[in-house]
Chains A and B, each alone.
Chain A
């Protein structure tokens, strides 16, 4: 899932600025699951903004609505009226949601209420960790299902650097050394020989380094007469 966290109320207030009618838009997918921008969070943020602006002596009209997915046009169509009526839209979606609202509603002023973090998973209640860097050329088949691109601080491909100690990365003791994890896993599976091959320089073209990416599936595209 995409993991995000809320900006501070102060930053949200400053992003809203002088606008009087504020629409907080939650998203029912990833950010709901990571408790950053679902229906519950949207209602709490809206209530907090109402209270805070009243205390500031400039009570704003703050309402909230949550769509199933901010990143699909058909769900955004459902809130077209509310968006039109608002001076500002505070999106509690990830960066994709914010941009989808801006793209779908050319007249709307939209600001982000979240900081989008990474692609990851909850490792335990209240803790999320990065797992995928979306590099576009998955190498997990060579590393026992543990990604050194996303989880090694240096994204090394040929084994651990000298900064691996006691299972941790020297950059921060809270970071497990991805290469220790890979080593242990391949060891337990009897596949350590995979680590002896020299991995060639990576083709970063498939990653963000090749420019903004797009996937085209001709088999799924609608033909002109069907559109």
Chain B
């Protein structure tokens, strides 16, 4: 079914949709809810991100570790004047629970959803849990788009009143196996109704360029807004872990070497003789270099045709987002609250 714009010309009119439709290079960031019921954690993180991104992704029990719900945290984010992108996984809810949660999220003012399969529960803190996976991410995209455009529940019954209207997002993992199938899987997500895509972390620019070339050949960049995933490295160990242990993540040696070089002044001091101050100074030097690399990555992905923005994943390090966005020359963020939809370059 074709996506039908609402009366103001936007599908949804979320800030993220307006920024993208106006042709601005979009910036989203990630906000991880706490492993507690403390809403102040969300407020503090929201304050760090306010003004430096167009929307913030609220993760949904990421890495299968129980945290405050994305919709609960999203409601606080709305109160704080930021726009959330609610992450919704298929791991913990069947089609009934997902739809019911989305009705609630819409009623609470949320307008963007990122549809994900979800990390397998064996990686989290409840590995003995039963998983759901009633739907997969592509079926979820289809369902959320149909809730908005056909105004029906997944079973085909119409809503009794206001339909939930979400700007529908999906993920792409350009470097997961089989790599040659990945652009086609992205095409399936577009066909299912995705409006925007946020990719897995990109460090290997040449490989991402090759992926985007295929995406352009298939014309996908004209049907969906693609936000390249980037994130600051925190230490050489983190860089090596990502390279060696995280599927679908390619980290070139060059970045590992740069992270090691940043810590070189402390490299000759035996581990047990490193003072607390030394360790802090070394961590700061690593973080500085990580932010530097991230800024360079943003500048490089920005040059690739078909990349509509970046999604910054500074995991449990929301403080890094502002210096990254500022360093990349992407501040201030555009005010598109009054932008007419007619200027849209898509559709």
Contact = CB atoms under 8 A, between A and B. Distances in A.
Interface in B176-235: 176-178, 181, 184-185, 187-188, 191-192, 200
A195 to B, nearest CB: 7
Interface in A161-215: 161-167, 170-172, 177, 180, 183-184, 192, 195-196, 198-202, 204
Contacts, number: 95
A163 B248 contact: yes
Interface residues of B, number: 35
A178 B281 CA distance: 46
A83 B214 CA distance: 69
B120 interface: yes
B247 A170 contact: yes
B288 to A, nearest CB: 30
B267 to A, nearest CB: 31
Interface string B241-257: 00000011000000000
A201 B120 contact: no
Interface stretch (B9-17, B134-142, B339-347): B134-142
- Chain A, interface size category, equals 20 to 34
Interface string B77-91: 000000000000011
Contacts of A129: none
A144 interface: no
Interface in B82-102: 90-91, 95
A53 interface: no
B56 interface: no
B177 A164 contact: yes
Contacts of A177: 177
Given A160-B181, A201-B154, A154 B133 contact: yes
B176 A201 contact: no
Interface of A: 153-167, 170-172, 177, 180, 183-184, 192, 195-196, 198-202, 204
Across the A-B interface, the 5 shortest Cβ-Cβ residue pairs: A162-B173, A165-B247, A158-B138, A162-B176, A156-B136
